[in-house]
Amino acid sequence: MITENPDKFGFYTAGNFKTYSKFESLEVAKATGTLSTWHFNDEIFGKLDWTLEPNIDLWELYKQRAIQIRNSYDYVVLGYSGGSDSDNILKAWLDAGCKIDEILSFNSYKGSDDPQSFMNAEITNVVLPKIQELKAQNVDFIFRSLDMSELNLEIINKNPQFEYEYEMNFTLSPNNAARIFLRERIKDYVDKIASGKRLCFVWGIDKPPVFFDGQKYYFQFRDVVDTCVNPYVQKKYKQGWYDELFYWSPDAPLIPIKAAHIVKRFVTTCHDSKYYQTKHNLYGYNKTINQYLTDETVKILIYPKWKPDTFCNGKGSGLIFSDRDSWIWNSNLEQLTRYKSLVYTMVQKSASINWFNKNFVRAHTSNRYYLE
């Protein structure tokens, strides 16, 4: 059974005030002297015993999740960037024998005019070859590659339906903001929703953040889901707008618990420095050698079919001045001034309440779920 409530993607409170907007909650909290708090399915995850590792293979959980989503919707769109999160979903989907309706990827070929730009390189080097491979295997699906350049500029130009300051939470890039308009702009999606079909977007949120408090390891969700589902989408959920976070769902709670235990077991038993780095990472701290798991190690641990030699851009340098938007930042477009104004306004708002750190807006986190 799938939960059909926009609250499942998280919401904020400041005292008795509830909102889907991070910045609105911060403003209210500052004005009322209360605390801005993020809630993420506490009523489900808080009832589970996170100290017990589920006695089931993680890959089996992935396949069960694919089947669960497939059986709940009429038309399913798999978001596929070529990165490890979406790659794992696609492979689990196929291994579970689930029909693929559509694979969706985003690019900025028109804006950057460079197939190897940060935004486009994984599409060029991973996604397009993968699509050709699947077609050669006679896998039946629709592939849609959307150039988001023009829509990015439209959003920056102040779309009257979109209050940028209050519709974005953690990731302020217009590239992320543009995605929310797909079901209003793509005729195929509009028609399917209008006909009463249950159309769903599946997103690869997210790997398991595993932390150490000096005594015990614990897991925490973070409010990073607005890369795929933001306040604008949540407020329109009653219109037949459906989304699924593949890994972080109250309908598949064993996935983050199992993945977190796999990470914890590794960092407490393996001390080989080749798997670690000195730079801070969210996905696992080894207290014995005082180092953090590398991104590549995490991928290998929780995504059994991931190929380490797959081309990967890695993480961008920030979520405000995003590498994905470099074609805008480095341009002479008239929208650049407007974009800078939007960004600096949000940075000033977050900085005024100590919610800004370098090139990142600070994340809200869920309750701590202790693994021991």
45-103 pLDDT tens trace = 999 999 999 999 999 999 999 999 999 999 999 999 999 999 999 999 999 999 999 99
Reply yes or no on whether the pLDDT at 322 is more than 80. no
Is residue 202 one of the residues assigned to a domain?
yes
According to the model, what pLDDT value does residue 158 have?
66
Question: What is the token pair recorded at 279?
Answer: 């730079």
With cut-offs at 50, 70 and 90, classify the pLDDT of residue 168.
confident
Question: What is the token pair recorded at 4?
Answer: 């059909």
With cut-offs at 50, 70 and 90, classify the pLDDT of residue 161.
low
Reply yes or no on whether the pLDDT at 230 is more than 60. yes
With cut-offs at 50, 70 and 90, classify the pLDDT of residue 357.
low
According to the model, what pLDDT value does residue 142 have?
98
pLDDT digits (tens, 9 = 90+) for 275-293: 999 999 999 999 999 999 9
Is residue 343 one of the residues assigned to a domain?
yes
pLDDT digits (tens, 9 = 90+) for 171-195: 778 888 888 888 888 999 999 999 9
Of residues 367 and 353, more confidently modeled: 367
The length of the chain in residues reads 372
Of residues 334 and 206, more confidently modeled: 206
With cut-offs at 50, 70 and 90, classify the pLDDT of residue 360.
low
According to the model, what pLDDT value does residue 170 have?
81
Is residue 1 one of the residues assigned to a domain?
no
According to the model, what pLDDT value does residue 320 have?
65
- Of 36-40, 162-166, 304-308, 366-370, the one with minimum mean pLDDT is 162-166
Predicted TM-score of the model (pTM): 0.95
How many domains would you assign to the chain? Answer: 1
Is residue 51 one of the residues assigned to a domain?
yes
Tell me the mean pLDDT in the region 12-32. Answer: 94
According to the model, what pLDDT value does residue 23 have?
87
Reply yes or no on whether the pLDDT at 345 is more than 80. no
Percent share of the chain, pLDDT over 70: 94
Is residue 116 one of the residues assigned to a domain?
yes
Reply yes or no on whether the pLDDT at 7 is more than 70. yes
Instruction: Find where tokens 């150490």 sit.
Output: 212
Domain of 312 in residue numbering reads as: 6-370
According to the model, what pLDDT value does residue 336 have?
82
Reply yes or no on whether the pLDDT at 272 is more than 60. yes
- Average pLDDT of the chain? 92
Is residue 289 one of the residues assigned to a domain?
yes
